[in-house]
Amino acid sequence: MSSSEKKYTVGQTWNALKAAWKGYKIAKAKGELDKQKEYARRIRKLQSELGLPLTKFPQLGKEFE
């Protein structure tokens, strides 16, 4: 691990996932497609780190299926 990488606890990762979902829902309500994609990437990355199944976001394109 390089000095620029931080190690987060499972609890911190869950909190980040919760925050990412909140951001995604707000962006979706506002119709902000770029932000929806940014949050979808973050959600999937955090889900992967937690060993969870990855949510599909087919409405955002092939990258998110």
Supply φ then ψ for residue 57, to 5 degrees: -125, 65
Quick check: pTM over 0.75?
yes
Q: Quick one: pLDDT at residue 1?
A: 46
What CA–CA distance (Å, rounded) separates 59 from 65?
9
For the segment 12-57, what is each residue's pLDDT rounded down to a tens digit? 999 999 999 999 999 999 999 999 999 999 999 999 999 999 999 9
Q: Which two tokens stand for residue 24?
A: 């995604």
Q: What pLDDT is attached to residue 44?
A: 98
Categorize the per-residue pLDDT at 4 as very low, low, confident or very high, splitting at 50, 70 and 90: low
Tell whether the model's pLDDT for residue 6 goes beyond 90.
Answer: no
Domain ranges of the chain: 22-64
**φ/ψ of residue 8, rounded to 5:** -105, 150
In three-state secondary structure terms, 17 is helix
Give residue 7's pLDDT. 82
